[in-house]
Amino acid sequence: MAVARSAGRHRLRLALAALAVAAVVGAALAVLHSPVLSARHVVVEGPHSRTPTEAIIAAAGLAHDPPLIDIDAGRASASVTSLPWVAAAKVAVDWPDRVVVTVDQRTPVAVVAGPGGMWSEVDRSGRTLEVVSARPAGIVALAVHDPGGVAAPAPVGKRMVSEAAPGLDVAATLPPAFSGQVTTVTVAVDGTVDLALNSGLTVVLGAATQLHAKYEDIAAIIAGAPLRGAKEIDVAAPQSATVDG
């Protein structure tokens, strides 16, 4: 009987200890999920003029003050990065009630004509950032020819066909002093690139290689050669440029 009573007391102590641990864990979880330790203050840092702050907060899953313990920073960062204009994002939890979202914005390098007179702004990767009804000023148009004809822009958030890469490289690297004269960057089926200037001249770049040397040739010709009646500048072979007409 004494042994049985001792065993019963031991089981009771174990049960009481388990109940105490459960109570502590429950209390801790209750505190961690209380409004005091929730995302009551969300700060969005970094350039994001083309993406509303509210859209970034919503994409990160922070619109309704979730408990900080429930926030998956990696998943929230990936969700924000999926927004069309966001190039990179980092979500950091700052206890006890603050979350900081740091973003970087994509830069459009060209516009691509789409169906119905619409224009798609694209970045250097060919990702469509936004579709607008009027062509934005101060940005070159990109036309990409593939075996099927002229490539259409991709849906928002998606990338153009790989054949666009040479034209995107050119559009992204045009010198500021010269880019204002370029109206269209055209990629041929063979991957070579031509530029249409607002003066009516066509510049034959050829392959999208040695671009710095080719830009120097173009600048020198425009600055120093009489171009009245000229139709074409060919800089496909750097330092051996020719002017037709």
Final residue of a domain: which of 60, 77, 105?
A: 105
100 and 54: one domain? yes
Find, among 117, 162, 128, the residue nearest to 144 by Cα. Answer: 162
CATH of the domain at 81: 3.10.20.310
Pair 161, 144: CB distance under 8 Å:
yes
Distance of CA 49 to the CA centre of its chain: 13
Domain count, the chain: 2
Q: Tell me, yes or no, whether 99 lies in a domain.
A: yes
Q: Tell me, yes or no, whether 146 lies in a domain.
A: yes
Pair 185, 173: CB distance under 8 Å:
no
Question: Model confidence at 20, in pLDDT bands (50, 70, 90)?
Answer: low
Q: Which domain holds residue 81?
A: 37-105
Which stretch of 31-35, 55-59, 83-87, 154-158 has the lowest confidence by average pLDDT?
31-35
Compute and round to an integer the Cα radius of gyration of the chain.
Answer: 30
CATH of the domain at 230: 3.40.50
95 and 127: one domain? no
56 and 86: one domain? yes
Tokens at residue 153, please?
């822009």
Q: Tell me, yes or no, whether 101 lies in a domain.
A: yes
Q: Tell me, yes or no, whether 168 lies in a domain.
A: yes
Tokens at residue 121, please?
């702004």
Which stretch of 31-35, 135-139, 153-157, 160-164 has the lowest confidence by average pLDDT?
31-35
Digit-coded pLDDT (tens) for 73-104: 999 999 999 999 999 999 999 999 999 999 99
145 and 89: one domain? no
According to the model, what pLDDT value does residue 29 have?
Answer: 46
Tokens at residue 41, please?
């203050």
Final residue of a domain: which of 105, 138, 161?
A: 105
166 and 218: one domain? yes
Find, among 107, 108, 56, the residue nearest to 82 by Cα. Answer: 56
According to the model, what pLDDT value does residue 9 have?
Answer: 61
| % of residues, the chain, pLDDT over 90 | 72
Q: What is the mean pLDDT of residues 60-82?
A: 96
Question: Model confidence at 16, in pLDDT bands (50, 70, 90)?
Answer: low
Q: Tell me, yes or no, whether 22 lies in a domain.
A: no
Digit-coded pLDDT (tens) for 156-181: 999 999 999 999 999 999 998 788 99
Q: What are phi and psi of 141, to 5 degrees?
A: -90, 145
Digit-coded pLDDT (tens) for 226-240: 677 789 999 999 988
99 and 169: one domain? no
Tokens 């993406």 -> residue: 51
Final residue of a domain: which of 71, 105, 139?
A: 105
Q: What are phi and psi of 11, to 5 degrees?
A: -65, -35
According to the model, what pLDDT value does residue 228 have?
Answer: 76
49 and 138: one domain? no
Exposed, middle or buried: residue 195 (CB in 10 Å: 0-12, 13-18, 19+)?
A: buried
Tokens 């516009």 -> residue: 111
According to the model, what pLDDT value does residue 161 have?
Answer: 94
* 77-to-71, 72, 74 alpha-carbon distances in Å: 11, 9, 5
CB-based contacts of 166, cutoff 8 Å, min separation 6: 187, 191, 192, 193, 207, 208
Q: Tell me, yes or no, whether 19 lies in a domain.
A: no
Q: Tell me, yes or no, whether 27 lies in a domain.
A: no
Q: Tell me, yes or no, whether 32 lies in a domain.
A: no
